[in-house]
Amino acid sequence: MGVCALNQDLAVFFVPFGLMISCSLLAGGALFFMNIKFIPNARLAIAALVAGGLVLIVLEIILYGSATGYFKAQQLQTSACELEGESAHPEARQGADPKIIHETILACMKTAGYEWQGDHRHCKDAPVATNPFCYLPLEAFDRSITGFQMNFE
């Protein structure tokens, strides 16, 4: 089971339950303010609305992250940079200067918004420029979500 399959399996399992919980919280909170009181007081109704909204936000992050974003996007970008490096320097594959491909891939990843971060255990096993575990996004939110995803790999 690959990286992508694990994330997609989790999303398919958790999203329907999360959606039911979120809709229930949102409906219960909204109905309170329409004088249909399934929730005993206004404080709990507001808390239900906030919690329902937060669950929807988390579900969006899970769905986006499991399909096209965060670590998956990092893997795709690493492959694109590898293709760019090998296309720009085909002679390096025959042994002329193999470091030039490494440097080209690093520059491409930096331009795409990633930095080399060799702390992950999979990067320590294979610290090569084509290893997506050796990078993290520069933007703080993407970095935190990607780092979280990589902890489970």
Mean pLDDT across the chain: 85
28-75 pLDDT tens trace: 999 999 999 999 999 999 999 999 999 998 888 777 666 667 888 888
pLDDT of residue 67: 60
Residues 121 and 77 occupy one common structural domain: yes
> What is the C-alpha separation between 145 and 52, in angstroms, rounded?
21
Q: Would you say residue 103 has pLDDT above 70?
A: yes
pLDDT of residue 23: 92
C-alpha to C-alpha distances, 38 to 35, 42, 49, 129, 141, nearest whole angstrom: 9, 11, 13, 56, 36
- pTM here is 0.63
| DSSP three-state, residue 69 | coil
Give how many domains the chain has, as a whole number. Answer: 2
1-35 pLDDT tens trace: 344 444 556 666 778 888 899 999 999 999 999 99
Full domain range(s) for residue 47: 3-67
Residues 80 and 136 occupy one common structural domain: yes
Helix (H) / strand (E) containing 7? helix 3-32
109-139 pLDDT tens trace: 999 999 999 888 989 998 898 999 999 999 9
Over range 83-93, report the average pLDDT. Answer: 86
User: Looking at 67, 102, 119, which one is the last position of a domain?
Assistant: 67
